[in-house]
Amino acid sequence: MVVTTQPYSLREGHRMSSSHYSCAQSSCGCPEFSCPLPEADISSLQEMLSSIRDARKPQARQYDLVFVLGVSIVANLAGAKGYEEIARKASDMSQALLEKLGAKWNWFKGRYVPPSKATIRRVLTKIDADELAAITGKWVAWQSPGKPGEEWRIALDGKVLRGAWTSENDQVTAFSAMIHEAGLTIGQVRVPDGTNEITQVDALLSALPISPDEPALITIDAAHTQDETAEAITKRPKWNYLMTVKGNRPTLLRSLFETLAPLTTGKPDDVVNEYKRGQYKKWRLWVTDASGIDFPGLEQAAIIIRDTFNAAKERISKEMAIVITSSASSEMDAANINKHKRNHWGIENKGHYPRDVVYREDNDQTWQGEGPLVLAVLRSLTMSLFRLKGVKNIKERTEWVAGDRDRALYFLTT
């Protein structure tokens, strides 16, 4: 089932300012990264989860869907890597936490009882992954920091879930959309078996909770530098693209290189210096009008040369990238082209890295039903919950939550 969400505007004061999302202290007086369980208000998250369709027959619902999803999210906040770990981390959740998540009282055992591994697997494999992604993505977008009229900056990126497979023994690929600076995932679709990400750009764009009349910049890797992708983006009135051009478009690359190469003998239009992990990096950018080059919507082209030096200022590497954008110079100057391209490259650290290092996603051998994509969506939501509270080191914070599941409540509050 493919779910399409009705576009809506988040620009009429709906998007949360950073003062609303960076800390819950203003509402409950909690110290950093903690929240007294009775005062934790998770109603917004639960209301969102309650809108997800439950495919089970009413007589088969021992646990409410909202409760199973809530338990799964808390387990993910504690670093759970699959059905078994979700169940194990749920098994020793406090009675107060289970009650807060919506557990029903078990009169036979005289306590709240968490769902078993079999129940968790059965429930999660029956959820429509596209619907879950659409609803959670819209909710995350609603919580994201921003101001009315501000441009959305969205990176599109695909990831093969290497350990998972489909019932047809094909690999599972998730194609996602993430807000640049905040690192929040607001859209995700599954790439159908036998196809690739390139065919799913329009589907992912249509699933985003952003109106075509809101300004948005879509950044994307070189594999997607296709006429169809450019047209899918620019057919939305206020959306623009920023793409990299490589050897998969040889004619376009040659035309751009011939136009841009002479510029590098002069002064760069923008220079950025960075120092990270014992390395110095210098990003030099030259930009020019490219509206005469044959590519849909093309307005500007730029060449970026990135030099990397060690602590002794000795050159380690030199890389070159050619980027194109449908934004005119009046909308995007050289400094912003440089910034947005660097932010797109940083998505690898915000998306793939925590999935592989924290959640060992490539080792998860889930295959049944919608399970692989549902777990991927829950991981995206979990990482977004951390980032909405300003967390940068997700691995460290999952270990902290694992020490006391009640601590997860801080990240469920809005």
The two structure tokens encoding residue 307: 């030099």
Residue with tokens 């917004």: 44
For range 135-152, the mean pLDDT: 91
Nearest CA to 153 out of 294, 331, 306 is that of 331
Nearest CA to 351 out of 117, 153, 177 is that of 177
pLDDT of residue 305: 96
pLDDT of residue 159: 83
Burial of 120 (0-12, 13-18, 19+ CB in 10 A): buried
For range 166-177, the mean pLDDT: 73
Q: Spell out a b/e string for 317-354, using b for 16 or more CB atoms within 10 Å of the CB, else e.
A: eeeebbbbbbbeeeebebebbbbbbbbbeebeebbeeb
Whether residue 5 has pLDDT greater than 60: no
Least confident of 159-173, 177-191, 391-405: 159-173
Whether residue 354 has pLDDT greater than 90: no
Whether residue 126 has pLDDT greater than 60: yes
pLDDT of residue 19: 32
Confidence of residue 17 (pLDDT cuts 50, 70, 90): very low
β partners of residue 149? none
Confidence of residue 348 (pLDDT cuts 50, 70, 90): confident
Q: Hey, where are the domains in the chain?
A: 18-129+366-412, 214-338
pLDDT of residue 368: 67
pLDDT of residue 205: 97
Share of the chain residues as helix, strand and coil, in percent rounded to the nearest 5 = 40, 20, 35
Nearest CA to 124 out of 208, 44, 200, 68 is that of 68
Q: Phi first, then psi: what are they for 216, rounded to 5°?
A: -150, 145
- Provide the CA 20 distance to its chain's centre, in angstroms: 20
Helices (H) and strands (E) in the chain, counts: 17, 11
pLDDT of residue 146: 79
CA angle 226, 232, 238 (to 5 degrees): 125
Q: Tens digit of pLDDT for each residue in 30-68?
A: 456 666 677 789 999 999 999 999 988 888 789 999 999
| Higher pLDDT pick, 371 / 90 | 90
CA distance 354 to 379: 9
pLDDT of residue 196: 86
Top-ranked range on mean pLDDT: pick from 6-15, 169-178, 200-209, 360-369: 200-209
Residues with Cβ within 8 Å of 343's Cβ and at least 6 positions away in sequence, in order, are 153, 155, 180, 181, 219
Nearest CA to 81 out of 413, 382, 368 is that of 382
Share of the chain above pLDDT 90, in %: 70
3 state SS for 238-277: CEEEEEEECCCCHHHHHHHHHHHHHHHHCCCCEEEEEEEC
Q: What is the mean pLDDT of the chain?
A: 87
Whether residue 9 has pLDDT greater than 80: no
| Higher pLDDT pick, 173 / 17 | 173
**How many Cα neighbours within 13 Å face the side chain of 52?**
29
Residues with Cβ within 8 Å of 374's Cβ and at least 6 positions away in sequence, in order, are 124, 125, 127, 129, 132
CA distance 241 to 301: 12
CA distance 171 to 193: 8
The DSSP letter of residue 52 is S
Residue with tokens 């992708």: 229
Full-model pTM = 0.87
Confidence of residue 22 (pLDDT cuts 50, 70, 90): very low
